[in-house]
Amino acid sequence: MSDKPSGIPGTSPRDEDDEVDLGISLRAVANIIDTARAADESDEDDEEGDLTAEDAADADSSDETLETLIDELNEDEQAALIALAWVGHGDYEPDEWEEALNLARERNETDPAGYLMGMEMLGDLLAEGLAAFGIVVEEIER
């Protein structure tokens, strides 16, 4: 599977073999989902006051790891991740992928990691975005 999105506006990102091509590797998305979910879980524990000093350090580590994973992506991959979160949120449908991707590219000028990490339940949004394209995150090889 290539890392380039389909170029046909108004269509979902599927190639001739009907494989989804989101412009970012599924493995990268799955790793980001796992890390975002770990960070979300730590944030929930922190809000409930259940965090020990060691857990707080782990939470900071999860946030730093998530930020690093996002920052290491190229601009197109970051835009794809943002668009995928929007699909997961219900702002766009899979058949509006190109529109979402183009808007994400336009808005991806400053701090994409900060923008994405500011989304509540980022891991779940990304998983829902994948599910909209028929991809089950738990089935992605890591």
- What is the CA 85 to chain-centroid distance, rounded? 6
Q: What is the pLDDT of residues 59-117, one digit of tens each?
A: 568 899 999 999 999 999 999 999 999 999 999 999 999 999 999 999 877 899 999 99
CB 84 within 8 Å of CB 126: yes
| Residue 109: per-residue pLDDT | 73
Of 11, 1, 13, 10, nearest in space to 79 by CA? 13
Say how many domains are in the chain: 1
Kindly report the backbone phi and psi dihedral angles of residue 14, in degrees, each rounded to the nearest multiple of 5, phi listed first: -125, 140
Residue 110 inside a domain? The answer is yes
Rg (CA), the chain: 15
Whether residue 8 lies inside any domain: the answer is no
Domain that holds residue 32: 26-139
Mean pLDDT for the stretch of residues 9-28: 69
Residue 135 lies in a domain: yes
- Residue 5, pLDDT > 60, answer no
Residue 88 inside a domain? The answer is yes
Look at residue 14 and tell me if it is in a domain.
no
Single-letter amino acid, residue 17 = D
